[in-house]
Amino acid sequence: LGNDRLLHSYLECVMSDNDSKCTKEGKEVRSRIPGLVQTGCSDCTPKQLERAIKTLKHITEKHPEDWKKLKAKYDPTGEYTQKYADTWKQRGVDF
């Protein structure tokens, strides 16, 4: 997360609909996002949850424009953002 160039590479991958802009790790992250969004990470392992919290905090605080783009793609109606806002807030992530 400290490397903006790498972060933007991952963001470009997760925003893309094809694999041409993705590393193996980027593809893995992109494949997990819909489930994470739809469940609020309720079925994440402790390590996955820790990573999700750290990543979401960083993106929402340091890259709010990228956060808006991610929400528009993965939660266009705001249903899950609203549904899990309190849960994420308790975890230290404020949407």
Q: Report the CATH number that the domain containing residue 18 is assigned in CATH.
A: 1.10.2080.10
pLDDT above 80: residue 62 = yes
4-53: per-residue pLDDT in tens?
888 999 999 999 988 888 999 989 989 999 999 999 999 999 999 999 99
Q: How many CA atoms lie within 13 A of 64 on its CB side?
A: 3
What does the pLDDT read at residue 2? 79
What does the pLDDT read at residue 20? 86
8 Å CB contact between 41 and 49 = yes
Tally of domains within the chain: 1
Alpha carbon distance 43, 1 (integer Å): 23
Q: Residue 34 belongs to what domain range?
A: 4-90
8 Å CB contact between 29 and 10 = yes
Q: Whole-model pTM?
A: 0.84
Q: How many CA atoms lie within 13 A of 32 on its CB side?
A: 17
Q: Is residue 95 part of a domain?
A: no
Q: Is residue 82 part of a domain?
A: yes
Task: State the average pLDDT over residues 61-83.
Answer: 95
Q: Is residue 75 part of a domain?
A: yes
